[in-house]
Amino acid sequence: MKSKSITSFLTAILAITSLVMVLQVATPVAVFASPTTWYVSPNSPTGHSGGSCAHPGFNAISAAITAASPGDTINVCTGTYYEQVIISKSLTLRGVPYPHLTSAAPIIQAPATMTPDTVYSTYFDIVEITGPITASFSGFTVIGPVSTAQVGCNTGNYGIGIFVQTGAIATITDNVIAHIREQPAVQCAAYGVGILVGREAVSTTGTATISGNKIYDYQKGGIVVDNTGSTATITGNTITGWTLAFQAANSIQIAQNGIQISNGALATVESNTVSSNLCPLGGTCGSDLLPTVGTQATGILLYESRSSTVVRNNAVSGNDVGIYVYDQGSPPTAVTLNTLSNNRYAGIAFFDGTYTASSNAIVGPGIVGIAAVADIANTVVTLSGDTYSGALTYHIEAIAGPGYTAAVV
């Protein structure tokens, strides 16, 4: 009897175990779709498998974005795409082959008639990165000009190459961004920015990593990071403004800025090459550093940026002012190790506040190496380890407006 009881007990256990195993096998398992890689080519018919540039799924970038799911990759093949691109999903957009920065890069060309930004109707963007997303955009050529009939002084509208807004997080690498201006170029200082991250005027913010891009022939700014809450890491870019001859030939006078961090934005600006931001003398532009007398174009402009903004190891040459810092309240913690050469009015100009600078190399020709300027507040600049060479009228100069003091220590 005892043996039979044990046998019955073991049989019951095996039956229960088998039932558990059956239940485990029968439990449904969630299956998630793997990210998809899409291909786009402008000169090929659609409807293919989408697995290569020879057999793409789409001939327009916007169509691929519409079909894609968050997390997908869109490979954009060599060719010209006459469209505005709106990225409102977490996607990777990549030029093929990548990286290249050559004529093989796919071109996104501003169409002759543009559509306003989906959120901000006075902005006309070639590429819009918008919403609570994380997107990557690499290996493209983004070019204007933007329509003079839609963008410019007489319209109140803005032309933008790439606009990162409404909380979007973007990685923008190894692109060429050019001709973000009206055609022909006209006297209109506020319009035409290569890359814009956030904007105080419309209460929007963005976050961006911007590296390895070539930006030139912009009307007002190469890279602008604006508004409290906007942040950026800006490294290894080459940014080139207009020549004086170009402005003279077009009868214009615009104080361009290669890189601008402003209105509470925070950034690290490191290892960039910024040149040829110049403004012809006369009218609104002048050689006197006091803004009441005239304004200057700048390689790198910090205008009321966050206190932990860093400007380090940049090569800034051939501008009116190499680095221009205006803050009053919370100056940047580091302006250091930059090389500033052939900036015709000042290598570095600090305005209206208390600042420090260290280990910058100032190379002439130019009027002044480092200037402390008091326009509407007292200014004190503390220097350490900066060097001066070449034909500079002054290595260091303090300039004060009526009722204020300026000092360099």
Strand 107-109 relative to strand 80-82, pairing: parallel
Q: What is the mean pLDDT of each run of 10 residues along the chain (409 residues)?
A: 39 38 40 79 71 90 96 96 98 85 86 93 95 97 85 80 98 96 74 95 97 96 97 98 88 92 96 96 78 84 90 97 85 88 96 93 96 92 96 94 93
SS3 string, 39-52, reads: EECCCCCCCCCCCC
**Contact in structure between 353 and 332 (CB atoms under 8 Å):** no
Provide the number of structural domains found in the chain: 1
Please list, in sequence order, all residues whose beta carbon lies within 8 angstroms of the beta carbon of residue 172, skipping any fewer than 6 positions away: 137, 138, 162, 164, 195, 208, 209, 210, 211, 213
Answer yes or no: is 391 within a domain: yes
Answer yes or no: is 382 within a domain: yes
Answer yes or no: is 389 within a domain: yes
Residue ranges making up the domain that contains 397: 257-409
Give pTM, 2 decimals: 0.89
Answer yes or no: is 55 within a domain: no
Answer yes or no: is 179 within a domain: no
**Contact in structure between 351 and 324 (CB atoms under 8 Å):** yes
**143 three-class SS:** strand
pLDDT of residue 46: 58
pLDDT tens readout for residues 215-229: 999 999 999 999 999
pLDDT of residue 247: 87
pLDDT of residue 28: 44
Answer yes or no: is 230 within a domain: no
CA 37 to each of CA 76, 81, 129, 243: distance values in angstroms, whole numbers, following the listed order: 11, 19, 20, 42
**Contact in structure between 61 and 76 (CB atoms under 8 Å):** yes
Closest alpha carbon to 125 in 162, 176, 87, 89: 162
pLDDT tens readout for residues 295-309: 899 999 999 988 889
**200 three-class SS:** helix
| Sequence letter at residue 282 | G
pLDDT of residue 187: 74
**Contact in structure between 114 and 152 (CB atoms under 8 Å):** no
Answer yes or no: is 123 within a domain: no
Answer yes or no: is 282 within a domain: yes
pLDDT tens readout for residues 230-287: 999 999 999 999 988 888 888 888 899 999 999 999 999 999 999 999 998 877 787 8
